[in-house]
Amino acid sequence: METPLTPLEFARRARKLYPERVAVIDGDSRWTYAQFLDRCDRWSAALQKLGIGPGDRVAYLSANTHAQLESFYAVPQIGAVLVPLNYRLTADDFVYLINHSGSRMVCADHDYLGTIDSIREQLPKLEHVVALTGHAENWLDYEAMIDASSAEFARPEIHETDLLTINYTSGTTSRPKGVMITHRNAWMNSIGTLLYAPMTCADRYLWTLPMFHANGWTFVWTVTAAGATHICLRKCEPRAVFELMATEQVTTLCAAPTVLISLANAPANLRHLAPKGIHVVTAGAPPAANTIQRLEEDLGWTITHVYGLTETAPFITVCEARAEHARLPVSERAAIKARQGVELITSGELRVVDTQGNDVPHDGNTQGEIVARGNVVMAGYYNDPEATERAMDGGWFHTGDAAVVHPDGYVEIRDRLKDVIISGGENISSVEVEGVLLRHPAVQEVAIVGFPHEKWGEAPYAFVVLHEGASADERELCDFARAKLAHFKAPHSVTFVNELPKTATGKIQKYILRAQRPAIAPQ
């Protein structure tokens, strides 16, 4: 009586229980669950007619549209493997990713048709190109093919250990790696997410997070599991976000901390559009306690902080709310919410270990690396056994994140291991320094990086974005940090910038900032 654990089961149930409920909103278009899943079936049938079958890779290059959402059902239900690509990469990146994954087909939004055309001669394994929107010579038309197709297709047997997607990492220090996510990985993450961020068929989810990133943190399936409504958003801009919140009665969304900062700092006339009680799941980087406090106090939202990586499908911890937290002042409660928290029930085991593999003491001070094992950890890196072996050393997935464990068992990330600043033999957490500077009323965003220093070996350096119309000078911010931190942790210098370099999901790209390498005088 066993059946495989797969998020495709969520589609079967939604079709049965919620056929007349609105499943997807994309601009002026709306589809019920019956209509949405019928479109998925038609595209599955069309794919099979083109010769796409079990194990074949199909790459997608699209913003958050209904067509991109349909790919997470139509491609895997015929046993093929979906490869969602980061649309903010370069043409050379696409050459590498499409060839490395061995994708036989590329489905692209109109914004990327010219880019793919410019590199097609470099893609020897590519057999078909499909225009999801727009038209171009020698491209198949997605909507026309769906209209012409029946909904009948051959359903292969799906095993829960089969590959569902290949999700490429950002590749900030080396070539991107293809994270192999199985049906079981995604099912487990989706169920765990629903335990800590519950949704019902009355909820309306706004797609502020790119669907390509770790499969939209598996909300591409989680929303469907609840029978809730997907509201597509091509570009995450504060005005569009707040307007959709008002017009579509949004109840929940996901966002990286940098997106939360942009929403918290939006003009008051936009923020007033937002309904109270919106539930936000944040991850991707450690959020500042100040940002959490502002959103909960000013907008009446509820923030749930989770942590994970593409390799963990993606969530492995949640900052679980406890009854005793409710009795704390808002500022203290926000500080706790900024921690990564504890294991999800479904994610498996997580530890913070020293360089010998021993658990660090739960003192909130001793740093170690987060390692994990369990049902959400990837099957490995596609066509990269050496990288897989390194990441899975000793039977644990090594995250590369440096963290401490508090006496209550809550994990708190202090940095990426490669981002820890060692100054005069002392470890400095860039996250801690950033959190302090974000409390300055003029600071909107900040990134702390380490640069070589004649005396201390390395020293913290700040890149700061100020609020529009605000002013502050270097000495003011350095003194502000020194008043709240041990002096060796305070930035030695500040560079004011208009914006910080970020990935598609809002993570700050510190390697770009490090490349600037300004001179720092001894102090």
**Residue 115 is part of a domain; what is its CATH number?**
3.40.50.12780
Mean pLDDT in residue range 154-171: 93
Tally of domains within the chain? 2
The pLDDT, as a whole number, for residue 140 is: 98
The pLDDT, as a whole number, for residue 1 is: 82
* Long-range residue pairs from 24-31, CB within 8 A, at least 24 positions apart, any chain: 24/66, 24/69, 24/229, 24/230, 24/232, 25/229, 25/230, 25/231, 25/232, 25/248, 26/65, 26/66, 26/232, 27/232, 29/66, 31/66
Angle at which helices 66-74 and 219-226 cross, to 10°: 90
In the predicted structure, residue 152 carries a pLDDT above the cut 80: yes
Residue 275 lies in a domain: no
Residue 308 lies in a domain: no
In the predicted structure, residue 64 carries a pLDDT above the cut 80: yes
What whole-number distance in Å separates Cα of residue 287 and Cα of residue 245? Answer: 22
Minimum mean pLDDT range among 190-204, 215-229, 255-269, 353-367: 255-269
Instruction: Using alpha carbons, list the distances in angstroms from residue 241 to 207, 209, 233, 283.
Output: 9, 11, 8, 18
What is the residue whose two structure tokens read 């109840």?
251
Give the residue from 215, 235, 255 where a domain finishes: 235
Q: Which residue has the higher pLDDT, 170 or 430?
A: 430
Structure tokens at 23: 């499943």
Phi, psi of 323 (to 5 degrees): -60, -40
In this predicted model, what pLDDT tens digit does every residue of 106-137 receive, in sequence order? 999 999 999 999 999 999 999 999 999 999 99
Residue 356 lies in a domain: no
What whole-number distance in Å separates Cα of residue 414 and Cα of residue 285? Answer: 11
Q: Which residues contact 43 (CB under 8 A, 6 or more apart)?
A: 70, 74, 142, 145, 146, 149
The pLDDT, as a whole number, for residue 505 is: 64
Q: What residues make up the domain containing 491?
A: 420-514
In the predicted structure, residue 521 carries a pLDDT above the cut 50: no
Residue 160 lies in a domain: yes
Nearest residue to 98 via CA among 72, 139, 127, 69: 127
Domain CATH number, residue 455:
3.30.300.30
Q: What percentage of the chain exceeds 90 in pLDDT?
A: 80
Structure tokens at 442: 């003029």
In this predicted model, what pLDDT tens digit does every residue of 417-428 receive, in sequence order? 878 787 877 778
Put simply, whether the predicted model's pTM sits higher than 0.75 gets the answer yes
Give the residue from 186, 217, 235 where a domain finishes: 235
What whole-number distance in Å separates Cα of residue 415 and Cα of residue 403? Answer: 7
Structure tokens at 344: 């999800």
**Cα Rg of the chain (Å, integer):** 23
In the predicted structure, residue 171 carries a pLDDT above the cut 70: no
What whole-number distance in Å separates Cα of residue 493 and Cα of residue 304? Answer: 34
Give the residue from 208, 235, 262 where a domain finishes: 235
What whole-number distance in Å separates Cα of residue 60 and Cα of residue 367? Answer: 39
